[in-house]
């Protein structure tokens, strides 16, 4: 069950779906226990978007832009989608093809935070119970990958999660889905990619 309605203080700021950063009004800051946890200025979301866009432009490599955006996604979902929608033409190649291909290849090395649901062979029989761990009950769209054939890059296994995340982002920005009612899923059915299996950062609990 989602207890986000009762969240206060740093729990609000640590929630991507609840956090609004400096756009929280002074009344909201008082009510939610945020007073003193944010800079005192009340900003418009347009200012936040402009700041994020200026920060994004400091990166030369597209993969670093992707990483910046996904970090923003995990910190402040409202701001992430506002930036994406206002700069959709420029950012589509970052959040999806072609940059998402490199993000999939390097997903295990650039991974920093949760971004979806993972199911593997070891979860057989308990997948329904695992779904109760998802913070939202009313999901309207689910994007699933097994990482087996990602953009012609071969079998990327669990690294394919980045493709599900990217598609969900575009469905929200381009088709108007509520981001809180989406789910990115990766099914780990194993991989024949020896390089991944031998990589210490590969995000799979191998069966022995």
CB 121 within 8 A of CB 191: no
171 is catalytic: no
Give the active site residue among 20, 65, 96, 202.
96
CB 208 within 8 A of CB 121: no
Give the active site residue among 65, 66, 167, 202.
167
CB 182 within 8 A of CB 172: yes
User: Would you state the structure tokens that stand for residue 143, as one six-digit string?
Assistant: 């994007």
Residues 6+ apart with CB under 8 A from 168: 141, 143, 177, 179, 182, 183, 184
96 is catalytic: yes
**Cis amide bond preceding 98, omega within 30:** yes
Which residues participate in catalysis according to the annotation? 96, 167
């Amino acid at each position: 069950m989602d207890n986000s309605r009762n969240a206060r203080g740093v729990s609000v700021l640590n929630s991507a779906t609840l956090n609004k950063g400096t756009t929280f009004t002074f009344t909201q800051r008082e009510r939610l226990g945020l007073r003193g946890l944010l800079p005192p200025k009340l900003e418009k979301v347009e200012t936040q978007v402009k700041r994020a866009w200026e920060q994004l432009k400091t990166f030369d490599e597209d993969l670093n832009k992707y990483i910046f955006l996904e970090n923003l996604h995990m910190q402040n979902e409202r701001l992430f989608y506002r930036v994406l929608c206002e700069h959709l033409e420029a950012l589509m190649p970052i959040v999806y093809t072609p940059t998402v291909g490199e993000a999939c290849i390097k997903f295990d090395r650039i991974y920093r935070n949760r971004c979806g649901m993972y199911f593997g062979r070891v979860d057989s029989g308990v997948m329904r119970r695992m779904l109760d761990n998802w913070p939202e009950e009313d999901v309207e769209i689910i994007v699933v990958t097994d990482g087996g054939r990602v953009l012609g890059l071969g079998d990327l296994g669990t690294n394919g999660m980045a493709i599900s995340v990217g598609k969900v982002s575009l469905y929200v920005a381009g088709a108007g889905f509520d981001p809180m009612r989406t789910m990115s899923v990766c099914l780990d059915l194993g991989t024949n990619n020896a390089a991944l299996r031998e990589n210490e950062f590969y995000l799979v609990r191998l069966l022995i």
